[in-house]
A and B are shown apart, each in its own frame.
Chain A
Amino acid sequence: MQKKKKRKGVGEDEACVTVSPSASVGDGRKPARRSAQTALAISKNCSFMCFCFSSGIMDTRQQSKIIYSWYGKPTNSDRKLRTLQYKGILIKSERSRKERCIQLGDFVLVEGENADQPFVAQLLDLYEDGAEQKHAVVQWFSHISEIPKNKQKLLKRRISSQEVFFDKVSGYDTDIAVETIIDSVLVIPLRLKDELPTRLKKEKIFCVKQSWDGKCFKALSPHTFSKLNEANRKEDGIPNSFNSFVPSDIISSAKKETKKAGLSATKTKNVEMEIESKHSASKSSLSKKRHSLRVANGIKNPTARKKLELNSPTRSPKSKLLEQEDIWALLDDDCDSQLLKPTAIKRKVKFTEVLSSPPKITCANDKLKSVFGTAEDQEVLSGTLRLSPYRKLEDSNEKVKSLNMEVDAIVLTGHKELGSQSPAVTPRSRRTCTQETSTRIAEQISLLNMLESKEEEDFLSSSDGSYSSSSEEEDSDVSCTPEKKTKPSRMFSTPKSSRKPSVHTPAKTPKKTPLPGTPRTPRNATPEIPRRSHAAQKPTSVLEEARLRLHVSAVPESLPCREEEFQDIYNFVESKLIDGTGGCMYISGVPGTGKTATVHEVIRCLQRATEDDDLPSFQFIEINGMKLTDPHQAYVQILELLTGQKVTATHAAVLLANLFCTPGPKRKTTVLVVDELDLLWTRKQNVMYNLFDWPTQKHSKLIILAIANTMDLPERIMMNRVSSRLGLTRMSFQPYTYKQLQQIISSRLNSVKAFEEDAIQLVSRKVAALSGDARRCLDICRRAAEICEFSSQKSADEIVRMTHITQAIDEMFSSPYIQAIRNASLHEQIFFKAILAEFRRVGVEEATVQQVYRQHIALCRMEGMQSPTVSDILAICARLGACRLLLLESSSKYLHMRVRLNISQDDVMYALKDD
């Protein structure tokens, strides 16, 4: 009766949490559900086949909604914090109506930033806060990919993809929203030297051997180890929770059964929660095993096996058995590794013990037993078991005996019973031939699984409990749906496989992977410039060396003259990193003052610090407004750098907002450098707004360093709401003074003696007076070195002197106009004179060609020259206009085209006078 109560409690507590837009549920299910309640297991499956096909197609278009509700009544409540604690959560998919219960201590998968990489965690606490938000407190486990590359080396061993690490890193938020929980998984603690059984590889099971505290790896302490083990044991209790939905009439029968089952230990499933919790590990060992089998084998659930049989009627029972055997062969290691760490012999024992009944039978067995658990079922069981060969009975019995030494007496008797009843110990010798067909079978299974996963959902939508709890329990392993709501196209693969495509299911491999043999598509093109065929020459002389060091691209050992700015930025980012919060900083300064270089230096130092474990690790991203084709592309780039996804701008914006605004579990702090911020300006300024809004979000953990040229950019181009979000953490890079420039050059040259001291000073003074642009300074020095090298090819070991510098400076800064006018042809020069004369005459700095032409002819007469034709004059005009010595109107106006000078009259006069 307690069950009933519990169920009511759940109903009361059920506060729906909508995860995704709901979709209508297919209507055709209800009658099917009814039939499911009444029909026998096998006939049920038959009738479902056809139904599920249609609904499966329908489902591809539907998005499912997942409802999270509390399991049971609040166990504890805190009045001050207004929180209510619970011991379990029910995850229910709206579409399939199936429910899973996850309890405290269970291991779960939590949505990560990347849909393909969920996090692993253990549930420690579940509570609802005052705002009726459901929260969970978790203990994280780190996957190897979450550990920084440089730290991975510390392990000094190969890490399988299934190994996780007990996470002791302090920075992570352990409080997550319940909605991010995807599914329950299994995490097995192992001793360091123990290997993960190879058979386990393809399953959704994790093992933990070591703990990771952000700095080093340690073996699991005995305490945590036992705790984890305990949690694993407790996990077996899960099935029980489902019984709470079993209608009372069935429960009553089941209850009767439990009393019987008290001895035979195979029927622990119907045992109540309370009883179950008291169960010793040994007592429930078999059920545990069976459960773990399913957890481990999620895909190959009983229905799948049944389907296999139904779909391939041509196969002989023998081949069926072979398949089963193979599957079981896969399974046996799983259960071994998880429950016992003993020797190989013991494993074998376990193997036979479980294997002793062919899987098909077990499934039926499981289901029926768990619901009805009556003696009739046992009969059915024994009846079917007769099909299986009777060869290794003695062998199995022997093994069972050896097992008995270890296992509880009750279990022993139960098994003995079972052993004698089910002699279906498939001969070992057959294994070899099985392996040959195994791949084919695996394929078949995977195909079937795809269909079944859907089928089951529909099938089990009738999960009022009337159907077997065991299949429900399996369902809970398979049917986590968050993937489906976002990616309906993946409907055809089971959710598990879509997250972790396993090797043995070719049908499930993502469509994206190109078929072998297809021509290379530009999709997977790698951006690369061909390599050079000859090695680059090493600098041979001092001057060449100096030139190389002075190149702007050369990364200096240190960044002189920006120590203060460096410190400020470093402190800012460091403090935010340590606090685990977000923030913005605006950095301004004219071009070439070392803004980007300083920021990069800061990041380098911070990264070094994280390597030395002084700081929590962070993710560094950089975007540059100038390198975007459109401000909205910023989203795309950020998202791609963060998660590697490639989506459209609008979608990226949504995903990023989601990422930064919702409490992301276990996310590292992100440091985002936005260079050339002013180019992200749009009319609505939504890109800037979003960028500066995210760091203010509570969970964002986003630090933004925005770089631009103008100091008053926030005031000038940003709306109030944007600039207020940017905040007042500003920094301005002043142009370098000549001393600083001098220091920069000297530090770059370091020990290379290629420049005279005075020469360096001259450059720095000149540049400091002009712009304070370090790039200019370095360019001049480089050019001077080149000139020096050029002029002194005979005498080696020349040093760059003042003359070289002056020459380089002249080259770079001299105005080209005067030189251009001086080198113009005579008529062009006369034309300039004519323009000046005309300007003087009219008093306006603009004239038509006609007017100038008149002046020109007059001038020509004075000089005794042949006067040019109109065509000549227009051609001259066009030439000077192309050089932009003159500014012209469009030439369609012919003689009425207006002419202006592009340089000052004084310059023109100066240029012409010297002749």
Chain B
Amino acid sequence: MELRGEGSGGVGRAGKARRGRSREAGGQAARALLGIEREGRARARRRRLTASPQIESSAMNKRKLKESSGTDGECISQVQKMLRERLCHHRAMGKLFGIDQQYKHLLELLKQTTVCGESNSALIIGPRGSGKTALLNRVLKDLREMKQVKENLLEVHLNGLLQTNDKVALKEITRQLHLENVVGDKVFGSFAENLAFLLEALRKGNRTSSCPVLFVLDEFDLFVHHKNQTLLYNLFDISQSAQTPVTVIGLTCRQDILELLEKRVKSRFSHRRIYLMNSFAFKQYIRIFKEQLSLPAEFPDKAFAQKWNSNIQLLTEDKTVQDILQNLFHYSKDLRSLNFLLMLAVSNVTVRHPLITASDLQEASKQYRMDSKANIVHGLSVLEICLIIAMKHLNDVYEGEPFNFQMVYNEFQKFIQRKAHCMYNFEKPVVMKAFEHLLQLELVKPIERPSAYPNCPTDVKQWAASSLSWL
């Protein structure tokens, strides 16, 4: 139990672990113990924990409880399953909120492609978590249900994070289209051959007789950085010429995406943009909250469903709940963060605690919006706190100038000698150790010394500093 508490104590805002019965006092004690740990390590430990037999035993306990509480337990597990699916998975069945316009537009667009063989291109643009993929998946699902469309559409899904260059992307396209140079799962031929082959294949087709192809480019902005934008040019060019009907749908969160397109590519792009903006007010937000938590009418246990739903209705009218939601809404409007919060809250539901309460939500919100750095500081030892305070004073004195360990140590010594009455005077190596720990926690960062390699060319330096984020 203690270990489990430790784990949840270390969990940052990402804590997804079921905290069912771990909210006992142990957690509090363990947090102090474990706060020292780095976040990453804590996470690793949590992972280990979930695999450990402790969980199994708790699961067994739950099962026992379930048996005792009979159908109630059954209901709870069903509710959890259903809600978790709704909140975590980007399943197509998920409801779409406030984007009916966009839905219709996209559906119409794809219908034209499949039914009439009209080529098109469009971009779905919206901030992260605004439901771009959900929208597309939903549209595709609805499309596939139409008989005329189902057999008439070839889909190619690409992701900018996976297909990092045109060569890989081409192979993937060829593979997904099952063209004839694919044997098994392997694509034969060089890059140039593949390109020529694919272009030839698409050129041969025509509007009325060829099967339309839908290209979905997730993380569209990453394709823009491919050399010469060859892939985009060709896809858009096909969509603008009398070849195989093709629809190119790009998904991106960058608002400046059009500026990234090369002028020829841009000219070939149809400039159809579907924006997802989270453009709802707080009232709608509350309604979304309610709908996400409500149980559907087809829930097997009607009585429980009714009870649950009325509880949700009560929650939406609750002042604290509204405050929590308002806070979150002010912080971020995307639905993914709401789902996350609800996920944490729903995880608290057990047989003993069958309905979500405002306090559950509050707890979840606290967890969700926990300040990670402050959290780390909470777990520091007194000596480490002292050092941090010393550093803060130094920072104030020298106006943000860098300092070294000796300066910090001197500052600490000054404090010990002048003001401290109950503070034990630590040996220098012990202080050094504490300092190193702070370094490890990245509460203190060594400054980058530019003189370490004075003649380093700028581009090399930039390269060294770069990560994926330079894209």
User: Contact residues of A with B, CB < 8 Å?
Assistant: 520-522, 525-537, 539, 544, 547-548, 551-555, 590-592, 626-630, 633, 636-637, 676, 679, 709, 773, 775-776, 779, 782-783, 786, 790, 811-813, 816-817, 819-820, 822-828, 865-866, 868-872, 875-876, 879, 882-885, 888, 890-892, 894, 902
User: In the assembled complex, which residues on chain A have CB atoms less than 8 Å from the CB atom of B330?
Assistant: 825-827, 865
CA A592 to CA B118, docked complex, whole Å:
20
Contact with A along B248-264 (1 / 0, CB 8 A): 00000111100000011
A sample of 27 cross-chain residue pairs with beta-carbon separation below 8 angstroms, ordered by A number, consists of A521-B183, A525-B197, A526-B180, A529-B205, A529-B211, A529-B244, A535-B208, A536-B116, A537-B115, A553-B207, A554-B242, A626-B230, A626-B233, A627-B230, A629-B191, A637-B196, A773-B267, A782-B270, A790-B108, A811-B272, A812-B272, A816-B125, A824-B333, A868-B331, A871-B369, A883-B127, A890-B466
Please give the distance in Å from B323's CB to the nearest CB on chain A: 10
- A876, B199: Cβ atoms closer than 8 Å: no
* B467, chain A: closest CB distance, angstroms: 6
Partner of A825, one of B239, B271, B332, B469: B332
How far is A464 from B206 in the complex, measured between Cα atoms in Å? 65
Within the assembled complex, what's the spacing in Å between the Cα atoms of A496 and B20? Answer: 87
Residues of A within 8 A of B370 (CB): 871
Point out the residues of chain B lying under 8 angstroms from A817, CB to CB: 255
Among candidates A521, A527, A554, A890, residue contacting B201 with C-beta atoms closer than 8 Å = A527
Q: Are A527 and B180 in contact (CB under 8 A)?
A: yes
Please tell me which one of the listed residues A529, A633, A875 contacts residue B332 in the complex, with CB atoms under 8 A apart. Answer: A875
Q: With the chains together, A537 CA to B207 CA distance in Å?
A: 10
For the complex, is B141 an interface residue (Cβ under 8 Å from A)? no
Of B104, B270, B470, most A-chain CB atoms within 10 Å:
B270
> Is A885 a contact of B234 with CB atoms below 8 Å?
no
Is B198 an interface position by the 8 A CB rule? yes
Given the known interface contacts A525-B180, A536-B208, A816-B275, the answer about A629 and B195 at a Cβ–Cβ threshold of 8 Å is yes
Is B67 close to A, CB under 8 A? no
Contacts of A779 in B (CB 8 A): 270-272
Whether the pair B256, A902 counts as a contact (CB closer than 8 A) is yes
B317 within 8 A of A: no
CB pair A790 B104 closer than 8 Å: yes
Report whether A879 and B230 are in contact in the complex, using a CB–CB cutoff of 8 Å: no
Of B296-304, B371-379, B415-423, B424-432, the one touching chain A? B371-379
Q: Which of B25-33, B147-155, B405-413 lies at the interface? A: B147-155
CB of A527 within 8 A of CB of B200, answer: yes
Task: Type the 1/0 row for B364-403, where 1 means its CB is closer than 8 Å to any CB of A.
Answer: 0000011111100000000000000000000000000000
| Interchain CB contact under 8 A, B233 and A883 | no
Interface positions, chain B 203-257, Cβ under 8 Å from A, are: 204-205, 207-213, 228, 230, 233-234, 237, 239-245, 253-256
Whether the Cβ atoms of B467 and A890 lie closer than 8 Å is: yes
Give B445's nearest chain A residue, CB to CB: A894
> Complex: how many Å from CA A883 to CA B333?
14
Report chain B residues within 8 Å CB of A822.
279
Q: A879, B332: Cβ atoms under 8 Å? A: yes
Q: How far is the CA of A522 from the CA of B178 in the complex (A)?
A: 12
Q: A529-B244, A627-B199, A823-B279 are in contact. Are A869 and B371 (CB under 8 A)?
A: yes
Docked-complex contact A872 and B234, CB < 8 angstroms: no
In the complex, the chain B residue whose C-beta lies closest to that of A878 is B128
Answer whether residue B327 sits at the interface, using C-beta atoms and an 8 A cutoff: yes
- A526–B198 Cα gap in the complex (Å)? 10
B332 with A876: CB separation less than 8 A = yes
Chain B residue numbers with a CB within 8 Å of A709 are: 263-264
CB pair B205 A872 closer than 8 Å: no
Closest to B170 in A: A629
Indicate which residue in A636, A820, A884 contacts B277 across the interface (CB closer than 8 Å). Answer: A820
For the complex, give the distance between the alpha carbons of A411 and B70 in Å.
120
User: Is residue B202 contacting chain A, with contact meaning CB distance below 8 A?
Assistant: yes
Smallest CB-CB separation from B187: which chain A residue?
A522
CB distance from A882 to the nearest CB of B (A): 5
Measured CB to CB, the nearest residue on chain A to B329 is: A825
B 330-344 binary contact with A (CB < 8 Å = 1; else 0): 111100000000000
Look across to chain B and name the residue whose beta carbon is closest to the beta carbon of A591: B267
Q: Is the CB of B201 within 8 A of A591?
A: no
Separation of A885 and B197 alpha carbons in the complex (Å): 40
Knowing A522-B182, A529-B154, say if A870 contacts B256 (CB, 8 Å).
Answer: no
Q: Let me know if B278 and A528 touch, CB within 8 A.
A: no
Task: Tell me whether B240 and A811 are in contact (CB under 8 A).
Answer: no
Q: How far is the CA of A812 from the CA of B182 in the complex (A)?
A: 39
- Flag if A555 contacts B242 (CB, 8 Å): yes
Known contacts A627-B195, A709-B264, A775-B240: A529-B470 contact under CB 8 Å:
no
From A627, A872, A884, B369 is in contact (CB under 8 Å) with A872
Q: In the docked arrangement, what's the CA distance between A633 and B469, Å?
A: 33
Interface centre among A555, A812, A869, A872 (most CB of B within 10 A): A869
Query: Which B residues touch A526, using CB under 8 A?
Result: 180
Cβ-closest chain B residue relative to A824: B333
Known pairs A532-B117, A547-B118, A637-B196; list 6 more (Cβ under 8 Å). A522-B180, A528-B179, A534-B152, A822-B279, A827-B332, A890-B465
Partner of A528, one of B180, B245, B268: B180
B161 contacts chain A at the CB level, 8 A cutoff: no
Question: B40 at the A/B interface (Cβ < 8 Å)?
Answer: no
CB atoms of A812 and B277 under 8 A apart: no
**B8 proximal to A (CB < 8 A):** no
Whether B290 is near chain A, meaning CB under 8 Å from some CB there, is: no
Q: Give the distance to chain A from B213, nearest Cβ to Cβ, in Å.
A: 7
Residues of chain A lying within 8 A (CB to CB) of residue B201: 527-529
Known: A529-B213, A533-B152. A870 touches B253 (CB 8 A): no
Flag if A891 contacts B469 (CB, 8 Å): yes
Beta-carbon contact of A534 and B148 below 8 Å: yes
Please tell me if B168 contacts chain A, counting CB pairs below 8 Å.
no
Query: Which one of A528, A529, A825 has the highest number of Cβ atoms from chain B below 10 Å of its Cβ?
Result: A529
Q: CA A894 – CA B278 in complex, angstroms?
A: 27
Taken together as a complex, chains A and B put the C-alpha atoms of A591 and B212 apart, in Å, by 26
Contact status B118-A551, CB under 8 Å: yes
B residues in contact with A891, CB < 8 Å: 469
Assembled-state Cα–Cα distance A559/B62 (Å): 76
List A contacts of B211 (CB < 8 A): 529-533
> CB-defined interface of B91-118 with A at 8 Å, one 1/0 digit per residue?
0000000000000100010000001111
B119 within 8 A of A: yes
**In whole angstroms, what is the CA distance A537 to B466 when docked?**
51
Q: Which of A532, A551, A790 contacts B212 (CB 8 A)?
A: A532
Indicate if the CB atoms of B371 and A536 lie closer than 8 Å.
Answer: no
A473 vs chain B, min Cβ distance (A): 47
Are B188 and A890 neighbours in the complex by a CB distance under 8 Å? no
Instruction: Say how far A619's CB is from chain B's closest CB, in angstroms.
Output: 18
* B192, CB-defined interface residue at 8 Å: yes
Docked complex Cα distance between A819 and B277 (Å):
8
A408 to B181: give the CA distance in the assembly, Å.
Answer: 66
Closest to B211 in A: A532
Beyond A537-B116, A591-B266, A823-B333, whether A522 also contacts B181 by CB under 8 A is: yes
Q: Mark B153-193, 1 if CB is under 8 A from A, else 0.
A: 01000000000001100000000010111110000110110
A591 touches B119 (CB 8 A): no
Complex Cα–Cα for A816 and B254 (A): 10
In the bound complex, what is the Cα–Cα distance between A820 and B126 (angstroms)? 8
Nearest-neighbour CB distance to chain B for A532, whole angstroms, equals: 4
Residues in A with CB closer than 8 Å to B242 are 553-555
**Which B residues are in CB contact (< 8 Å) with A553?**
119, 207, 239-243
B38 CB within 8 Å of chain A:
no
From known contacts A529-B202, A626-B233, A825-B330, infer whether A676 and B264 are also in contact, taking CB-CB under 8 Å: yes
Q: Which of B192, B199, B233, B275 contacts A633 (CB 8 A)?
A: B192
- Chain A residues with CB under 8 Å of B166's CB are 629
CB distance from B440 to the nearest CB of A (A): 15
Contact digits for B120-152, partner A, Cβ 8 Å, 1 yes 0 no = 000001011000000000000000000010011
Residues of B within 8 A of A816 (CB): 125, 255, 273, 275
Cα A196 to Cα B204 with chains together (Å): 38
